[in-house]
Amino acid sequence: MADKYPWKVAWITGASGAICGEMARRLADGGVKVAATARLSEALERLAAEHANITVYPADVLDPEALKESAARIGGELGAIDLVVAGAGMYEPFDINDVDVAGFGKTMDLNVTGVMNTVAAVLPTMLARRSGHIALMGSLFGYTGWPGNGGYGASKAAVINLAESLKLELHKTGVDITLVSPGFVDTQLNASYEGKKHFVMSPQRCAKKILKSLPGKPYEIAFPIQVALFLKTARAMPNAIGRAMIRGFIKAMG
């Protein structure tokens, strides 16, 4: 039996991708009207063709005006947006011997500014209605630095900080915020990651875990729990101990 959700209308960016596409399907199965955003592509159109509850609103998340127009259209056509999932994102490898400054900039633009553009498109209406739920896709790699992750990790650390600020500012506004930080998920996004991948999960399992917790409106959803605890502990330790923990993990696990 399909899960039931507390939202009537959900807007998802990155919906043509693996994790957010699966979230769109699950929400649609649960009766939620899903507005699916990514740049126009066959993958996005295929997603909409799968389910009567999924409608595409193609847009580039780097274009704040296009996102504002999409948010207004969704509100008019599907109803007030109760949930937004800012999921569009990318990974670029980071090599200290040949730093790809352009790739770093693209990663920061999409993973940080793209998220902010999405939030900015829904916030005025949510604040006016005193209701709404914003989910930001972070990553466990945002909690602490990691070899090979200088760009992606920095962008996700920025998302974590953004979520912390929004959580403080949205207090008592009626608008909720959730930071979603999964570990490795088996998707195209991290295909160019050169390190060893640990505790890898499928996009289906990832989407299921997110949607199991998200209705409770927690501030944070971070998993796998053992990896989240390890990285948060490394972060909380004095710097030298945190770095020793990470080096020890890499030595032991590859």
Ligand X SMILES: NC(=O)c1ccc[n+]([C@@H]2O[C@H](COP(=O)([O-])OP(=O)(O)OC[C@H]3O[C@@H](n4cnc5c(N)ncnc54)[C@H](OP(=O)(O)O)[C@@H]3O)[C@@H](O)[C@H]2O)c1
Q: 3-class SS at 53?
A: coil
- Per-residue binding letters, 130-169, with ligand X (x by CB under 6 A): -------x-x------------------------------
Closest CB to ligand X among 173 and 204?
204
Question: Which residue minimizes CB distance to ligand X?
Answer: 17
User: Comparing C-alpha atoms, which of 61, 55, 48 is closest to residue 77?
Assistant: 55
Options 27, 28, 38, 47; binder of ligand X; rule CB under 6 A: 38
Closest CB to ligand X among 31 and 105?
105
Closest CB to ligand X among 78 and 210?
210
Q: 3-class SS at 41?
A: coil
CB 140 within 8 A of CB 170: no
Q: How far is the CB of 23 from ligand X (least distance, A)?
A: 9
Q: How far is the CB of 19 from ligand X (least distance, A)?
A: 3
Q: How far is the CB of 174 from ligand X (least distance, A)?
A: 26
Determine which one of 57, 91, 143, 152 is catalytic: 152
Cβ neighbours around 127 below 10 Å, total: 14
Size of the site for ligand X (CB under 6 A): 28
CA dist list (Å): 219 to 122, 150, 234: 18, 25, 21
Determine, following the binding rule CB under 6 A, whether residue 192 of this chain makes contact with ligand X.
Answer: no
Residues 81-100 that bind ligand X (CB under 6 A): 87-90
Give the list of residues 6+ apart from residue 158 with CB closer than 8 angstroms, or none.
Answer: 108, 111, 112, 142
Options 2, 41, 72, 226; binder of ligand X; rule CB under 6 A: 41
Integer Cα distance of 91 and 94 in angstroms: 9
Cβ neighbours around 171 below 10 Å, total: 9
Options 14, 30, 150, 153; binder of ligand X; rule CB under 6 A: 14
Q: Is residue 152 annotated as a catalytic residue, yes or no?
A: yes
Listing DSSP states for 69-134 in one string gives HHHHHHHHHT----EEEE---------TTS--HHHHHHHHIIIIIHHHHHHHHHHHHHHHHT-EEE
Closest CB to ligand X among 13 and 53?
13
Options 3, 60, 164, 220; binder of ligand X; rule CB under 6 A: 60
Options 7, 11, 13, 23; binder of ligand X; rule CB under 6 A: 13
Q: How many CA atoms lie within 13 A of 184 on its CB side?
A: 14
Q: What tokens does 67 get?
A: 């996102």
Q: What residues are annotated to the active site?
A: 152
Residues that bind ligand X (CB under 6 A): 13-20, 38-39, 41, 60-62, 87-90, 110, 137, 139, 182, 184-185, 187-190
